[in-house]
Amino acid sequence: MIYALGGLGEVGKNMYCIEHLNEILIVDAGVLFPEENLLGVDYVIPDFNYLMRHNHKRKVLVITHGHEDHIGGIPFLLKQVNIEAIYAPRFAIALINRKLEERRMRGVKLREINSDSSIQMEHFTVGFFDTIHSIPDSLGLLITTPNGKIVHTGDFKFDLTPVAKNADYQKMAFIGQLGVTMLLSDSTNSGIEDFSISEKRVANMILEITRKASGRLIVATFASNMYRVAQILEAAVQCGRKVIVLGRSMENVVTIGRKLGNIKIPEKCFLTPEQLSTTPANKICIVCTGSQGEPLAALSRIANGTHRFIKLIPGDTIVFSSSPIPGNAGSVNTVLNKLFRAGANVLTKSVLNDLHTTGHASQEEQKLMLQLIKPKYFMPIHGEYKMLKQHRDTAVEVGIPPENIFTCANGDVLLMRNERVFLSSMRIQADDIYVDGNDISGLSTAVLKDRKILADNGLVAVIIPIDSRTNSILAKPVIVSRGFVFIKDSQGLLKEAEMICYNALKERMATKITFSDIKNTVRSSLEPFLYQKTHRNPIVIPVILNSKEAMAQMQAMRQARFQQKQQKETAEEA
């Protein structure tokens, strides 16, 4: 069985599973960062229910590289699912370790892998090959199963002049000659024609801008693009500038990069915040987060004038070494306008300069991967539906039969038997799970859905005075509304709602009932009426006010029960 719990129909929360009898091989466990309409949500993670129900099966997690959309879900996964071990490349191991330390999660078996490694399970054998991405130690997978060979590319691109280790074209071609049954391949840039530009061209452009900048140089980029960060730092030092790194994620990446030798900048070339005021402007390079206009990122705070150490001055050169992610254009433009208004010289990617290149394969690179691997069957992964569809069309162009291509959604199941693949009628639950910052379990979805209902439909509180001794309602309920209707213009509606609720309670309280019955009666009578009148479904909260005498009587009864229980326990011990 081959299925995805995340990564299909979206760019993020990548998680792909291959299952055979008593074993499940999991490839990546990422998060998706929420859109603006997901109020109070910090992360979106895959639904692990299927894996939890099969906790008796042996599970191994393999990580292709260290980006958040591939490793961010690991702490949530480990809390709920039994994972025998996590296999990850060196840079990803360092990032995962830091993530687990922050969560105080210990005892996790982390095994380092590289392109020469091999993982031997009962039913699966996993081998690896080097790929190029925007982060060091990115790997593709060759998974040998009893029913055929599967290749998972991970995130990749082909760069003929890379800044670090090259992709292993020979090994990919050799794997293609072995005979591959199924290919799972990155679809993020399926809509972009031709080859992506080389990272070295970006490095040369950044070096040229660094030389020409007359004042301070501020460069914003993705913290996850470690190669780009290294190039910016190297260009600054080459031009006689000292650097300061701002933003927690950027600081983490630079610390790990220096520790592992990916960033070779000596300590003397770094500035502390206190040294900024005494260093000439033309000798300063600031590398920061915020290239996507994130409100709390360093560059946004600099633009707003709220950053603790950096205030913009005319003559600053600000470089956006990135392109706006779809959906972020508005927030990026807001930051750009503030920077221009402050008198800064702002440079963004355009036809005039190559300040950014992608880490994902474009159409021609996808064709090259298909030609090297030569799969019988193909499943595009890692992309929105249009990206998966465009990758499917590219695969048809290079000769893969349309009936052998599967454009799936999260939860769809492919069956592979005797080197043949077909779509199963079975589906696996693969919903989005919403997580807020205080919820380590990832089970706060219900709370966050309530939060959205409150934002869309508001709240109605129904206050019901009763006397539980006589099982009677003492007065008509009082309805208080917040965010549902404008009370001044809706007095008639609320009075009618109170009467409907009162009549339903009087009828129901003709016989002895519990507090729970009263609440259910309020909801069942009020919710349909409010929807019929307003076409909104507010959250209805019944509030029961019991009379003082009844409350005192109930308290006495509870105290008597407690004393009886204690006496019984004392007698049993004796």
Mean pLDDT over each residue of the chain, to the nearest integer: 90
CA dist 173 and 158 (Å) reads: 14
Sign of CA dihedral 70, 76, 82, 85: positive
| SS (HEC) of 83-128 | CCEEEEEHHHHHHHHHHHHHCCCCCCCEEEECCCCEEECCCCEEEE
Q: What's the pLDDT at 159?
A: 93
Which position has the higher pLDDT, 75 or 570? 75
- Judged against a pLDDT cut of 90, whether residue 492 lies above it is answered with no
pLDDT average, residue stretch 354-377: 93
Q: Where in the chain is the domain with CATH 3.40.50.10710?
A: 199-347
Of 179-183, 313-317, 363-367, which range is least confident?
313-317
CA dist 459 and 530 (Å) reads: 11
Q: What's the pLDDT at 433?
A: 87
Residue 429: strand, helix, or coil:
coil
Structure tokens at 29: 């466990």
Q: How confident is the model at residue 176 (pLDDT cuts 50, 70, 90)?
A: very high
- Judged against a pLDDT cut of 70, whether residue 527 lies above it is answered with yes
> Is domain 458-554 annotated with CATH 3.30.70.1450?
no
Q: What's the pLDDT at 424?
A: 94
Q: Summarize pLDDT for 539-555 with one digit per residue, the tens.
A: 999 999 887 676 666 56
Structure tokens at 406: 């599967």
- Judged against a pLDDT cut of 70, whether residue 574 lies above it is answered with no
Q: How confident is the model at residue 439 (pLDDT cuts 50, 70, 90)?
A: low
Q: Are the C-beta atoms of 115 and 129 separated by less than 8 Å?
A: yes
Which position has the higher pLDDT, 454 or 261? 261
Of 48-52, 93-97, 324-328, which range is least confident?
324-328
- Judged against a pLDDT cut of 70, whether residue 293 lies above it is answered with yes
- Judged against a pLDDT cut of 70, whether residue 258 lies above it is answered with yes
Q: What's the pLDDT at 185?
A: 98
**Of 309-313, 484-488, 556-560, which one has max mean pLDDT?**
309-313
Q: How confident is the model at residue 245 (pLDDT cuts 50, 70, 90)?
A: very high
Residue 338: strand, helix, or coil:
helix
- The residue from 186, 316, 412, 432 that is catalytic is 186
pLDDT average, residue stretch 138-162: 96
Q: Are the C-beta atoms of 184 and 379 separated by less than 8 Å?
A: yes
Q: What's the pLDDT at 70?
A: 97
Q: How confident is the model at residue 151 (pLDDT cuts 50, 70, 90)?
A: very high
Q: What's the pLDDT at 436?
A: 75
Collect all residues with Cβ–Cβ distance below 8 Å to 474 and sequence separation of at least 6: 465, 466, 467, 547
Q: What's the pLDDT at 442?
A: 52
- Judged against a pLDDT cut of 70, whether residue 250 lies above it is answered with yes
Residue 280 to residues 214, 241, 287, 313: CA-CA distances in angstroms? 11, 9, 17, 13
Q: How confident is the model at residue 566 (pLDDT cuts 50, 70, 90)?
A: confident
What would be the CATH architecture of the domain defined by 199-347?
3-Layer(aba) Sandwich (3.40)
Q: Summarize pLDDT for 185-236 with one digit per residue, the tens.
A: 999 999 998 888 888 889 899 999 999 999 999 999 998 899 999 999 999 9
Q: pTM of the prediction? A: 0.80
Q: Where in the chain is the domain with CATH 3.60.15.10?
A: 2-194+358-435
Q: What's the pLDDT at 119?
A: 97
Residue 529 to residues 392, 499, 523: CA-CA distances in angstroms? 49, 11, 10
Q: What's the pLDDT at 440?
A: 53
Q: Is 360 a catalytic residue?
A: yes
Q: Where in the chain is the domain with CATH 3.10.20.580?
A: 458-554
Q: Summarize pLDDT for 382-410 with one digit per residue, the tens.
A: 999 999 999 999 999 999 999 999 999 99
For 2-194+358-435, give the CATH class. Answer: alpha beta
The pair phi, psi for residue 460, each rounded to 5°, is: -125, 120
Q: Summarize pLDDT for 68-99 with one digit per residue, the tens.
A: 999 999 999 999 999 999 999 999 999 999 99
Structure tokens at 551: 């409350």
- The residue from 360, 382, 391, 432 that is catalytic is 360
The pair phi, psi for residue 529, each rounded to 5°, is: -65, -45
Q: What's the pLDDT at 235?
A: 94
User: Hey, which residues does 505 pair with through a beta bridge?
Assistant: none
- Judged against a pLDDT cut of 70, whether residue 36 lies above it is answered with no
Q: What's the pLDDT at 407?
A: 96
